[in-house]
Structure 1
């Protein structure tokens, strides 16, 4: 019973962090609303894989090493910030188009890798994992409990991303996007740029 309560605490904390609006969810919504369900699901699968990787890092104690290594953490922030700025540029270019031209064709596997890179270059994911796991697990917790908690959170991450992909690829959302494409892409560009430059600034002022 104690383990179940711990898992529920961890799951609740992680779910709140995962579903909250952020660069990953914003990017996934943008992909799904523009390129459809399959693209969104592949992008979400990439995000889930990257999230699970950071979960493994946090669960094995390597998260402390990552956060404590100045050079590695700075590099991750710079890469993550640069990627978000690139997404901002892509959204900005889409907003600047007068007509709804199709963005450069991307294979489904390409969407997976884009999602994977986005979450792998996000060092904040380690902090989120460590915070969630620490809420329900003590220092004397065995490896099986840590693995179970990590698996639960990884599944929640996948469910969240799949939910975003399925929701924003609904016909109503896609039709609304076509009507207000330039405004939506412009707002997305601003949000991506803000997140990207904030991450880069954090890296350079550390």
Structure 2
């Protein structure tokens, strides 16, 4: 069974990925400010459901990798590390821009069910999400980990995904929060870049340490 530290590592890695500013989070924040907390929570639940879809896809592929080859897992960790470093680079680039976020306010009147499915479609339409899942799962999984360990890691990421989207809905539904976010965007992107860098370097070190042991 996967240990607590590995679960925490997976959860933290996925949190860093899930909480970072991006199209889904920006849209959720926008809806929270323009439509209120209830609508944003529904939309966020849809976003999280879309994440679950890609999580199951990622876990299925990860299970095959874990059962096939230590070297494939090492390659995945290298790929995941490079992906995280790329996110760090992109976040770092945002720190050079003015403290503003381009957001299109959503004014059309739709039902709660429609908001939910909009959230699902938002994340399902982004196949790159599966890479983020695999990168996060590979942080705490090793070649000798079994199916239960994989399922535990998957569940942790699902919980983190729902919690993160709910956090965005709650926080950004308060008046004035979006204005603060715009003013602090450079600092937020800088902190995100730092966290991505630490996670990416740690994943690369894990891959090469495993290689040297083998």
Q: TM-score, normalised by structure 2?
A: 0.61
Does the 8 A contact of 1:42 with 1:112 survive in 2?
yes
Tell me, yes or no, if structure 1 residue 153 matches structure 2 residue 157. yes
Corresponding residue for residue 173 of structure 2:
169
Does the 8 A contact of 1:45 with 1:112 survive in 2?
yes
Deviation at 1:103, TM superposition (A): 1.7
The answer for unaligned runs of 5 or more in structure 1 is 65-89, 95-101, 178-183, 185-206
Does the 8 A contact of 2:19 with 2:164 survive in 1?
yes
Deviations 1:91-130 (A, max 9, x none): 2xx5xxxxxxx82211111110000000001112101000
Corresponding residue for residue 82 of structure 1:
none
Does the 8 A contact of 2:39 with 2:112 survive in 1?
yes
C-alpha distance in 2 between matches for 1:30 and 1:20 = 15
Instruction: Tell me the SS of whatever aligns to 2:3.
Output: helix
Instruction: Tell me the SS of whatever aligns to 2:143.
Output: coil
C-alpha distance in 2 between matches for 1:22 and 1:129 = 16
Q: TM-score, normalised by structure 1?
A: 0.64
Tell me, yes or no, if structure 1 residue 125 matches structure 2 residue 129. yes
The runs of at least 4 consecutive aligned structure 1 residues that moved more than 3 Å come to 171-174
Corresponding residue for residue 11 of structure 2:
11
Deviations 1:40-67 (A, max 9, x none): 0000000000001111111111799xxx
Corresponding residue for residue 31 of structure 1:
31
Corresponding residue for residue 41 of structure 1:
41
Instruction: Tell me the SS of whatever aligns to 1:171.
Output: coil
Q: Number of residue pairs matched?
A: 143
C-alpha distance in 2 between matches for 1:50 and 1:134 = 20
Does the 8 A contact of 1:29 with 1:165 survive in 2?
yes
Corresponding residue for residue 50 of structure 1:
50
Does the 8 A contact of 1:63 with 1:126 survive in 2?
no
Change (3 A) 1:29 1:141: same
Quick check: 1-10 or 116-125, which moved more?
Answer: 1-10
> Which residue of 119, 134, 138 corresponds with 1:134?
138
Tell me, yes or no, if structure 1 residue 112 matches structure 2 residue 153. no
C-alpha distance in 2 between matches for 1:129 and 1:39 = 26
The answer for unaligned runs of 5 or more in structure 2 is 65-102, 183-214
Does the 8 A contact of 2:62 with 2:134 survive in 1?
no
Instruction: Tell me the SS of whatever aligns to 1:13.
Output: helix
Deviations 1:72-97 (A, max 9, x none): xxxxxxxxxxxxxxxxxx92xx5xxx
Task: Say what the alpha-carbon RMSD is for the aligned residues.
Answer: 2.5
